């Protein structure tokens, strides 16, 4: 098992909901990255850094939040690399008072965030040595093999599930869950969605957004939703909205209609 110091230790500074979402995106984009804390403000981040040893390897945070704490640029440790997220379409000179290595948009695409970590690893040799040991749960031989069974966890119990038992797979706050057909019960699973995409029958399962891979047999009603998206009502008791992202709508319709 990989120890803590084999990972790129990341500190996320963002409003809670966006911060946990960014943390999940970081994990999806870079297997060597690990979020050690999500903090809601730069003031909290500075206090955290003043009381923590060793320091994180990388900070990823909202540039807009610096406007609430203008002293951030004077008080933050300039030895720690920083990646700013921002909804603004320009790079501000002030950001480079710090060891800023990149700007990415809010809610960045996985490929864009992967390029950021590739740059970090290129610039910081410490990260080059931080290669985690291979995960024992997925061997190279089975990485792209179609799955016929899943070992899942609920509390202290392990269960075996088949693809027919799955309504959909859900990624949330850095963890992946199997949502059971019929009962709607959630079970934790060790696979990431990216791995599952390559291991599932593409005629039966489809990734409708960054967080959900759904079984066609779990789809009830489909209706139009805001911003040219689609909303799915599943055939199970599940209260959260299940949305087909705008960029997936066309392929989703073809998949359903095949």
Query: Domains in the chain and their CATH numbers?
Result: 4-128 (3.40.50.2300), 150-256 (2.40.50.1020)
Distance CA 166, CA 62 (A): 36
Split at pLDDT 50, 70, 90, the class of 107 is confident
The chain-wide mean pLDDT, for the chain, equals 85
22-61 pLDDT per residue, tens = 999 998 899 889 999 999 999 999 999 988 888 899 999 8
Check: CB of residue 83 under 8 Å from CB of residue 99.
no
φ, ψ of residue 46 to 5 degrees: the values are -65, -45
- Whole-model pTM above 0.85? no
Confidence (pLDDT) at 125: 58
Distance CA 212, CA 242 (A): 8
């Amino acid at each position: 098992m990989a120890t803590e110091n084999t990972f790129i230790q990341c500190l996320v500074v963002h409003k809670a909901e966006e911060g946990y979402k960014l943390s999940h995106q970081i994990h999806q984009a870079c297997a060597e990255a690990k979020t050690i804390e999500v903090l809601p403000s730069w003031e909290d981040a500075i206090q955290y850094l003043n009381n923590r040893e060793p320091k994180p390897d990388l900070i990823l945070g909202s540039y807009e939040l610096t406007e609430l704490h203008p002293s951030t640029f004077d008080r933050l440790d300039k030895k720690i690399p920083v990646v700013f997220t921002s909804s603004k379409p320009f790079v501000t000179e002030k950001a480079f008072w710090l060891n800023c290595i990149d700007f990415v948009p809010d809610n960045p695409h996985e490929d864009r965030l992967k390029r950021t970590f590739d740059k970090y690893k290129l610039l910081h040799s410490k990260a080059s040595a931080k290669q985690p040991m291979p995960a024992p749960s997925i061997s190279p031989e089975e990485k792209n093999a179609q799955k016929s069974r899943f070992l899942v966890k609920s509390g202290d119990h392990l269960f075996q599930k088949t693809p027919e038992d799955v309504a959909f797979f859900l990624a949330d706050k850095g963890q992946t869950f199997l949502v059971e057909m019929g009962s709607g019960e959630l079970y934790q699973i060790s696979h990431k969605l990216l791995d599952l995409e390559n291991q599932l029958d593409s005629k039966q399962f489809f990734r409708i957004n960054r967080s959900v891979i759904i079984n066609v047999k779990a789809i009830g009603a489909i209706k139009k939703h805001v911003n040219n998206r689609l909303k799915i009502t599943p055939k199970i008791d599940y209260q959260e909205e299940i949305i087909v992202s705008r960029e997936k709508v066309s392929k989703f319709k073809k998949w359903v209609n095949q």
